[in-house]
Amino acid sequence: MMTSLDQLKQYTTVVADSGDFRLLEEYKPQDATTNPSLILKSVQKDDYRPLLEKTVQDHKGQPMGKIIDELIIAFGQEILKIIPGRVSTEVDARLSFDTAATIDKAHSLIEIYKGYGVDPKRVLIKIASTWEGIRAAEKLQSEGIDCNMTLLFSLPQAVACAEAKAKLISPFVGRIYDWYKKSAGADWDEARDGGANDPGVTSVKRIYSYYKKFGYPTEVMGASFRTVSQITELAGCDLLTISPDLLKKLSESDEPVTRKLDAQASTKESIERVSIDESAFRFQLNDEAMATEKLAEGIRQFAADALKLEKLILELQK
């Protein structure tokens, strides 16, 4: 019998959500995603310490930003040796509200990749789904640089990304689930509120249906999963990026996985088109407490982990 992971791959492109590239060969994902937290986690392991030390030594005396870029691209190159598809490389979260700086950083990352002989089409520049980040993505996409819009928690963000012609979005299932579960407290009932009714799952389904209904080519990649159920409830989504521990669970299971999302069926749904300009985006995002709080929290977390990574590098330079 096929494993649950193999069944899932029949309906959805499976992506590994990890900087731990040594694990990728086992699960054979098409693409891989990274972020500052995942890179920080990896470089603290003995297996990856030499890569960190070599990068710091090779770029000794260069600005910290350059060393960080070289490190995340070193991971990106190793990942691309294993996977057949694309790697997502994230712009510093501290630039999330600076359109021009985000564009400059994306250009820099692409040029470094090109310097190592990597085809830019195998790289997705990962940008936070703020209004400023979306505007940066719009410019980059017009130049042929593909973007993965991250820290996405709401339909207004998704609509703005699609209108900007972003290549891909990464709505965060697990973090939405976390917020609603914490908010409900003792009233949360996993049997009632999880599974197909999981708020993170229903958010992605809504975005997926909206895109298919109105013919947006932007790819939807569910991200940030907490449970196998959240993943299997989104079977049929364009892509799903999954952590190694959940990939392991899927590979060890033979529970049936059936298609839950269908592009053709979505085109027949009754969905109202959303009009998004800057003021509408900001108001609608502000009006949704979960999305506002999780976006801010995510930027703070990625920025904090970038600082921790810088501290590790400074210690090596002593």
What positions carry a catalytic annotation?
126
- 236-273 CB burial, b ≥16 within 10 A, e <16: bbbbbbbbbebbebbeeeeeebeebbeeeebeeeeeee
Angle 13-9-38 from CA coordinates, rounded to 5°:
55
Answer for the pair 35, 150: CB distance below 8 angstroms, yes or no.
yes
